[in-house]
Amino acid sequence: MMIAYCSGRRTHKNERENDGEKNAMTMSATCHKGPLGSTFYALQADSETVVRLASIDWSREFSRVCIDHVRGLIVCMSPSWHHEKLGKLIEDVVDQASDALGQFSESFRATRYRAPSDPPGTGLEPDCSFIVGDKVEGYLDALKAGEAAVDDYLERTPPDLVVEVELTHFDRGKAMRYGQIGVREFWQVRVVGEPTEVSIEILQLDPRKPPEPVRTSQILSGLTSRQVAEAVAAVSTARTRSARTEAVSNIVLGKGAMRVQEEQECYSP
């Protein structure tokens, strides 16, 4: 689909057999670099066109694909090494933090999510996503039943937490869309200094109201955004898995209660 690779506008005319009318269909395509060096190809069109284009296997060419008929947008990304490294660090931190807190969690990458009412092939694909608690038990039961059961389970089970590590202007409204899909929490990651020096914004999601910025995670037992950022930095320099586990555990358990209390006192959303 060459239109996704270049900038500009194209207009196509198609005849509808039922009434013989000719309808103009306008699509705009752009390409740009993200703040971490990833390449983004964006195609904006009307909802009907996006649904038709969802039948294309975009994932054969791109690592991340968002096909959102509600916003009239298809975004395909070729991630940079920096993007991929941060995504993996966040995945390690969440997995190890949930272990330290005594919670069950399961992580996923390259998984596209949509609401049950959304057209097939559409959906949002975060950098990494997580289920916790009872959803993990359901996933493990599906895993025992085979690949088809897993696909069916993930199709009807939204993740509890999704993470995006490189945000662009195309991501406006994405948090709201995640909430409409059924996601409970959204982490936005931004690099603020060195390659692994980050800030984390935690958004609590509800399909009935706008995303709400909060200081502590509702998914991971009050883990703060500052703790997550500290853990990312610590994990990035740890040479072994045991060292990473110890670093995250020390941050989560050693400072957690005091840090949560301090931040709740000084923060009012």
Please report, in angstroms and rounded to a whole number, the separation of the first and last CA atoms in the chain: 44
**Helix, coil or strand: residue 46:** coil
Domains of the chain are 80-266 (3.90.1570)
Instruction: Supply the pTM of this predicted model.
Output: 0.83
> What whole-number distance in Å separates Cα of residue 66 and Cα of residue 123?
6
Convert the pLDDT of each residue in 203-260 to its tens digit. 999 999 999 999 999 999 889 999 999 999 999 999 898 999 999 999 998 754 444 4
- Dist CA 163 CA 171 (whole Å): 12
On whether the CB atoms of residues 167 and 83 are closer than 8 A, the answer is no
Whole-angstrom Cα distance, residue 191 to residue 217?
A: 20
Which tops the pLDDT comparison, 13 or 137?
137
Distance between CA atoms of 156 and 144, rounded to whole angstroms? Answer: 17
Alpha helices for the chain (secondary structure H) = 47-53, 81-100, 134-145, 147-156, 174-181, 225-237, 241-249, 256-266
Per the document, the length of the chain is 269
C-alpha 166, offset from chain centre: 10
What is the pLDDT of the chain when averaged over all its residues?
85
Q: How far apart are CA 69 and CA 118, in angstroms?
A: 8
Q: Kindly state the average pLDDT of the residues 27-34.
A: 90
> What is the Cα–Cα distance from 15 to 18, expressed in whole angstroms?
9
Residue from 124, 133, 131, 174 nearest 153 by CA: 131
What percentage of the chain reaches a pLDDT higher than 70?
85
Q: Which amino acid is residue 167, in one-letter code?
A: L
pLDDT tens for each residue of 209-223? 999 999 999 999 889
Give the Cα separation of 140 and 208 in Å (integer).
30
